[in-house]
Structure 1
Amino acid sequence: MSPRSLLLILATCLTLGAQTPATTQLVQSIPVETDLADPALAFAKDAWVAMIRGAKVSVDAAEFYVTNRPGSALEPVLAELEKAGARGVKVRFLLSAKMLDQDAVSVARLRRIPGAEVRSFDLSAVSRGILHAKYFVVDGREAALGSQNFDWRALEQIHELGVRTTDPRIVVRLAELFTIDWAFAGSGKLPELPGRPALTLRPGVELVASPPFLTPKDIRPAIDALVELIGQAKESIRVQLLTYSPVAGQERYWPVLDNALRAAAVRGVKVRLLVSDWVLGGRALPHLKALTLIPNLEVKVVSIPEAKEGHIPYARTVHSKYLVVDRMHLVLGTSNWEESYFADSRNVELVFRDSPLAAEATRIHDRLWNSRYAFPLDPAKAYEKRKVD
């Protein structure tokens, strides 16, 4: 897609957006048998079905992997994709090459959708990274993006947060990234990404992405946006993640985000970091414990009890990935806070400044922070590693 084509598409979308106000809403996923659902928010499983059901021309999806279970919340989503293909909607699906074996039956099911095409996204020749983004675009007019993988567990057994949006500032950019990644998956060759003058957009919303070597020059690296926003915090910072680690590679220290959080706490900003109990027993645990010794910086670990049906591998956890600054600004996306997600892998984050979405995300964070599932990380305590698989 040429720069001129993108400008024309963007101009068209902005014109339509002026006629029909864009909407963006948070969508949640909550582990069943918990009381963590926010009554004011829609569920991702319902939003996804509605979006695909309304598709008339195309569904373009970039997903880490696909995993289904008969009768699960993902089944209606897959069924709607099949119906969309049957009525002539063009379905294109990008999946991470390293995760194709997670559910070969569901991958084959996607390939059987009439007119559908599935491509494997493999970065192994150019980096250690993966396709870790999780989003899809419908008809070039609406998009879903967030922490939810295309996984039945992500819709009913994991705490997740995403967005559903018709905002052209987001949809056009996601469509552009998909075009780049779709071409890369087809050729295996990194595209040329010539510099372009930054597009003049309405303020307030920005799409940022990783890795830099696969991202247009006028889309900022996600890590830069995160550090900038943390640096601008005046009163409070709330973060929720699956994992957080300033350790990279072979025990190499990667202090970028760690330093930013520490500096904020030192200047008096109240920092609250929520992480999943997957960090217990991991190599980042000593660093997380060290954070708890800094005034104004609190760390809590979230542990979701097993489901009544018994242990479900890679489930019953918190997987949301977002940052709220001063209850006014929100960054929501697909990256855990570790170096490889920003330097090597395809991830996408959305920055919302002065947005009511930030207040909603604050409410979600506070609900979990004060819940019976969260406990303060004790720097003096030895923790057992949680069974994940």
Structure 2
Amino acid sequence: MIRRSMFPLFLGATLLGAPLVAQSAAPVTQLVQSIPAETDLADPALPFAKDAWVDMIRKAVVSIDAAEFYVTNRPGSALEPVLAELEKAGARGVKVRFLLSAKMLENDPISVARLRRIPGAQVHSFDLADVSKGILHAKYFLVDEKEAFIGSQNFDWRALEHIHELGVRTAEPVILSRLARLFAIDWAFAADGKLPVFPGLPGMSAHSQVELVASPPFLTPKDIRPSIDALVDLIGQARQSIRVQLLTYSPIAGQDGFWPVLDNALRAAAVRGVKVRLMVSDWVLGSRALPHLKALRLIPNLEVKVVSVPEAKEGHIPFARTIHSKYLVVDDTHLALGTSNWEESYFSGSRNVELIFRDSPLAAQATRIHDRLWDSRYAFVLDPAKVYEKRKVD
């Protein structure tokens, strides 16, 4: 991977709010947020995904390659300008290719049809049902192979307006090249259903300052590390603190299996004195994973909080008003951010991608985002002795 004495960063503002000018030759990388409306969780230093997406697509000249779990729009929503920019891009000759999870095509057939009507656009469905029963769960797009967006945001109006999300907009060459390779692999698989055969290549150094990792192993070239290996490695390196924010966390695999890989890593870190803070959404209340989360609370140095975002003023919005960001911060210096919930199937059978930034200012900024939510009125300590009511999700 690329090695530099300092990882270049442009956030539009420093952590103290002062302007930061990007060097002309330096790749641009920034964290990008989505925040539930009617909350005070927005970070003033971060741009919003709804604005970043429009800006990126508007600048497209040659190509837009997108891999998304699904697409869902609502007239007048924040996703409408994004779709309009995609239509304009196709009209001016930009080659648009969209991969969508086969299991979610009926989620919003009107919007899928709209994508298919973009001039020159190609839309393929990605189906792992006969291979691993997994899904295309990654959420990213490439513009001209010069810029990419990767994050927890689905191509969904709710992800831009009513969910806590975190992504990365980047021009890092190492990320772009590897993401383009993964898209090519998945595009070919979507077309013919044949699993690729990868030659044995040297593994990438776990100490690279910027790294893209991916799941599942059977769809990933050998020189791209499996996401689970990278996450366990980072947790194992922690000496002072670990912060994790997720939609869901579970060591349960399938109907009755147990998958303790990440659970063991967090427990081991806490036992050696690392202060661990795990924050999950209230979607876990009433789930089979809840007893395991309660058990974590009994370990010294390991805290668990649940976040509950109030309903919007307009009333209940299905599959919204929650935290959906998926990231890990180690010692305030290393950041892993991506598209996987921390459950076995996301790493073994589904397509997901994560980005690793070591010794990066992004990590300190993600720490601030985590702490802002951790200390907010929306987060509460999980009580091992309390019986919780299941949250209405759909």
Query: What's the TM-score once normalised by structure 1's chain length?
Result: 0.94
Counterparts of 1:184-333 in structure 2, within 5 Å, are 184-198=189-203, 203-333=208-338
Which whole-Å deviations, capped at 9, do the CAs of 1:21-67 have from their partners, x for residues lacking one? 10110000000000000000000110000000000000000000000
Q: Residue 173 in 1 paired to residue 214 in 2?
A: no
User: Higher helix proportion, which one?
Assistant: 1
Q: CA deviation at 1:19?
A: 7.2
Letter in 2 for 1:193: F
AA in 1 matched with 2:379: A
Look up the SS of the partner of 1:26 in the other structure: strand
Q: Aligned to 1:52, what secondary structure does the other structure show?
A: helix
How many angstroms does 1:197 deviate by? Answer: 3.0
1:296 positional shift: 0.2
Q: Match for residue 183 of structure 1?
A: 188
Instruction: Find the counterpart in structure 1 of residue 33 from structure 2.
Output: 28
* Structure 2 equivalent of residue 46 of structure 1: 51
Is 2:91 the counterpart of 1:86?
Answer: yes
CA distance in 2: counterparts of 1:200 and 1:385, whole angstroms = 43
Question: 1:109-148 to 2 correspondence within 5 Å?
Answer: 109-148=114-153
Residues 311 and 201 of structure 1: is their aligned pair in 2 closer, same or farther, counting only changes over 3 Å? closer
Task: Output the aligned Cα RMSD.
Answer: 1.5
- Any conservation in 2 of the 1:82–1:113 contact (CA below 8 Å)? yes
1:103 and 1:253 map into 2 onto residues whose CA distance is: 34
Distance 1:199 1:319 in 2: 29
- CA offset digits 1:77-105 (Å, max 9, x no partner): 00000000000000000000000000000
Letter paired with 1:114: P
Give me the TM-score of the superposition, normalised by structure 2. Answer: 0.93
What is the CA-CA distance between 1:310 and the residue it aligns to? 0.1
**1:330 aligns to what SS in structure 2?**
strand
The Cα shift of 1:203 comes to 3.3
Residue type matched to 1:46 in 2? D
Q: Deviations over 1:189-228 (max 9, x none)?
A: 1111112235789931000000000000000000000001
Query: 2: distance between equivalents of 1:114 and 1:199?
Result: 39
Q: % of aligned pairs identical?
A: 81
What one-letter code is carried by the residue in structure 1 that aligns with 2:377? Answer: R
**Equivalent residue for 1:356, pick from 361, 380, 383:** 361
- Secondary structure of 1:42's counterpart equals coil
The aligned counterpart of 2:165 is: 160
1:223, 1:202 → 2: CA distance? 16
2:32 partner letter: V
Gaps of 5+ in 2: 2-22
